[in-house]
């Protein structure tokens, strides 16, 4: 599946937003994009880029490979791995992290666990997972497809969707609504900043929120 490339300038604008504003903007459109349970392995790291998706399944009697898909990932993309939330084996470790860092890959999101965190933290590779566990995925799971729609925490992620992750968690923005979501998210951040300014000017928080329509900022327009 071919990835629709987004303008670099648009991605750069998303790098200045936090995931809270982005999920509020998606809520405004009736879209659930938050990837529940996905957290940073390396504190202070951030991810923003288009998704290169990878799907894993359990191995059968004939063992498959955990995959050499990194050779096909473009610089700036985010590897999104659907390992069905498995906690008994990992699909990402020190070799993958060092190679991805060298290639300029923006980061990795795993619906599952990773290992070799000492090296991951040393090279400061941005990876967001559901946990850490040392057992290898080799002979336990195998890659059965790349760049197909996958699921992470119950959210559909398609190749080319925009992935943003920070200290608050990770979110997927469908490529079809990237521009609209950016516009809404920026307006939400502007309103929230204005609320703080109004309170500093002497009004109560309640007054400021009513004035700026805070309670309906993320409410879907019918």
94 is in an annotated binding site: yes
DSSP 3-state helix, strand, coil percentages of the chain (rounded to 5)? 35, 30, 35
Identify the band that residue 62 occupies on the pLDDT scale cut at 50, 70 and 90.
Answer: confident
Cβ–Cβ < 8 Å for 147, 100: no
Task: Please indicate, yes or no, whether residues 91 and 146 belong to a single structural domain of this protein.
Answer: yes
**CA–CA separation, 29 and 220 (whole Å):** 5
Task: Please indicate, yes or no, whether residues 194 and 128 belong to a single structural domain of this protein.
Answer: no
Of 62-66, 151-155, 169-173, minimum mean pLDDT range = 62-66
31 is in an annotated binding site: no
Q: Which domain does 200 fall in, by range?
A: 182-216
Cβ–Cβ < 8 Å for 99, 120: no
CA end-to-end distance (rounded Å), the chain: 33
Q: Model's pTM, two decimal places? A: 0.93
Q: Domain count for the chain, please give it.
A: 2
**CA–CA separation, 30 and 93 (whole Å):** 36
Answer yes or no: is pLDDT of 222 > 70: no
Identify the band that residue 4 occupies on the pLDDT scale cut at 50, 70 and 90.
Answer: confident
Number of residues that this document lists for the chain = 222
CATH code for the domain in which residue 77 is found: 3.50.30.40
Q: What is the pLDDT of residue 37?
A: 97
Task: Please indicate, yes or no, whether residues 124 and 193 belong to a single structural domain of this protein.
Answer: no
194 is in an annotated binding site: no
Alpha helices (H) in 67-176, listed in sequence order: 94-103, 117-123
- What is the radius of gyration, based on Cα positions, of the chain? 19
Model confidence pLDDT, tens digit, residues 63-89: 877 778 999 999 999 999 999 999 999
Identify the band that residue 216 occupies on the pLDDT scale cut at 50, 70 and 90.
Answer: confident
Q: What is the pLDDT of residue 55?
A: 97
Task: Please indicate, yes or no, whether residues 120 and 208 belong to a single structural domain of this protein.
Answer: no
1 is in an annotated binding site: no
**CA–CA separation, 132 and 92 (whole Å):** 10
**CA–CA separation, 80 and 147 (whole Å):** 9
Answer yes or no: is pLDDT of 91 > 70: yes
Task: Please indicate, yes or no, whether residues 138 and 204 belong to a single structural domain of this protein.
Answer: no
Is residue 3 assigned to a domain? no
Is residue 222 assigned to a domain? no
Average pLDDT, the chain: 93
Cβ–Cβ < 8 Å for 107, 78: yes
Identify the band that residue 101 occupies on the pLDDT scale cut at 50, 70 and 90.
Answer: very high
Q: What is the pLDDT of residue 113?
A: 98
**CA–CA separation, 108 and 217 (whole Å):** 31
Nearest to 37 by CA among 112, 118, 121, 117: 112
Task: Please indicate, yes or no, whether residues 142 and 167 belong to a single structural domain of this protein.
Answer: yes
95 is in an annotated binding site: yes
């Amino acid at each position: 599946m071919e990835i629709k490339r987004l303008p670099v300038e648009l991605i750069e604008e998303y790098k200045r937003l936090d995931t809270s504003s982005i999920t509020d903007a998606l809520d405004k459109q009736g879209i659930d994009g938050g990837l529940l349970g996905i957290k940073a392995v390396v504190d202070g790291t951030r991810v923003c880029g288009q998704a290169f998706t990878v799907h894993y399944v359990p191995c059968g009697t004939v063992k498959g490979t955990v995959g050499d898909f990194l050779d096909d990932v473009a610089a700036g993309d985010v590897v999104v791995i659907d390992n069905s939330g498995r906690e008994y084996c990992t699909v990402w470790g020190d070799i993958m992290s060092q190679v991805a860092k060298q290639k300029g890959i923006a980061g990795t999101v795993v619906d599952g666990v990773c290992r070799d965190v000492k090296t991951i933290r040393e090279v400061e590779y941005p990876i967001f997972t559901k946990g850490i566990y040392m057992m290898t995925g080799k002979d336990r799971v195998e890659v059965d497809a790349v760049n197909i729609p996958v699921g992470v925490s119950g959210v559909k992620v398609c190749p080319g969707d925009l992935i943003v992750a920070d200290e608050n968690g990770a979110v997927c923005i469908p490529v079809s609504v990237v521009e609209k979501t950016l516009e809404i998210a920026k307006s939400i951040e502007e309103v929230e900043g204005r609320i703080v300014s109004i309170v500093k000017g002497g009004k109560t928080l309640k007054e400021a929120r009513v004035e700026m329509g805070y309670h309906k900022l993320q409410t879907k327009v019918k």
